[in-house]
Amino acid sequence: MELILKELEKSFGEKYVLKKASFRFKKGKIYGLLGRNGAGKTTLFNCISGELEQDNGMIMISKNGQIEEKIEYSKVGYVFSEPVLPEFLTGYEFLKFYIDINKDKIENLLTIDEYFDIIKISEEDRYRLIKGYSHGMKNKIQMLCFLITRPPVILLDEPLTSFDVVVALEIKRLIKEIKSNHIIIFSTHILQLATDLCDEIVLLHNGVLEEVDSKLLKSPEFEEKIMEILKEGNNA
């Protein structure tokens, strides 16, 4: 399975954010999407998830040689950098609602409590309003959503920054565990996280996507190289 981006273009007024960005993301790999502030990482994710419509270009999924041109929303799981959850529900109620709504897309349904056990949210917290949750807890609930529905494409927008060390490690492990069945794209500007977790690094720079040679990922000059590329053409 592949996620294919073909000559994506997106502009806001006269500001061109994506300029014919093309890429093929493959199943079983974790991609680190690197880019400077305002490079358009979130815009790219919003286009893939269908929240925004691109001006030009195509987003497709190919599976066993068959190409799906219009991606169904349920194929993409999106974890926002700022958690977005209805605060008047308790964690438990939100999950029940979420599972109800997506019932027909879930394989191997567990009980709600089992799901909570996975992300280690305590019995007590499950029955509290989400409004009172910490940033990290809200993020865990968001992560849980894609663990439940297991969409083929998972987009993570700056996901680990708000977790404490223990949870971050757990989530990292979790992501590595499930990666064989998914295309995981992970945006961050923390280089270390990218080298740690990702199999491939993709740079979003000047509106286009370019892959960084994976050999470079393990090499000592990696940081310098990335810096070099990201600073390039910045004056333009």
Per CB under 8 A, residues contacting other proteins are 13-14, 49-51, 73-74, 76, 78, 80, 84-90, 92-93, 96-97, 100-102, 123, 127-129, 131-132
Q: Tell the smallest beta-carbon distance from residue 110 to other proteins (Å).
A: 18
Nearer to other proteins, 109 or 190 (CB): 109
Q: Tell the smallest beta-carbon distance from residue 96 to other proteins (Å).
A: 7
Dump the DSSP string for 144-205: HHHHHH--SEEEEES-GGGS-HHHHHHHHHHHHHHGGGSEEEEEES-HHHHHHH-SEEEEEE
Nearest residue to 128 (alpha-carbon basis) of 169, 188, 185, 87: 87
Q: Tell the smallest beta-carbon distance from residue 115 to other proteins (Å).
A: 16
The tokens describing 114, both together, are: 């089992």
Nearer to other proteins, 73 or 196 (CB): 73
CA distance 16 to 45: 16
Nearer to other proteins, 153 or 203 (CB): 153
Nearer to other proteins, 81 or 162 (CB): 81
**Are β-strands 66-68 and 30-34 bridged in parallel, bridged antiparallel, or unpaired?**
unpaired
Nearer to other proteins, 141 or 230 (CB): 141
Q: Tell the smallest beta-carbon distance from residue 206 to other proteins (Å).
A: 20
CB of 57 closer than 8 Å to CB of 9: yes
Burial label, 216 (beta-carbon count in 10 A; 0-12, 13-18, 19+): middle
Q: How far is CA 136 from the centre of its chain?
A: 16
Q: Tell the smallest beta-carbon distance from residue 62 to other proteins (Å).
A: 20
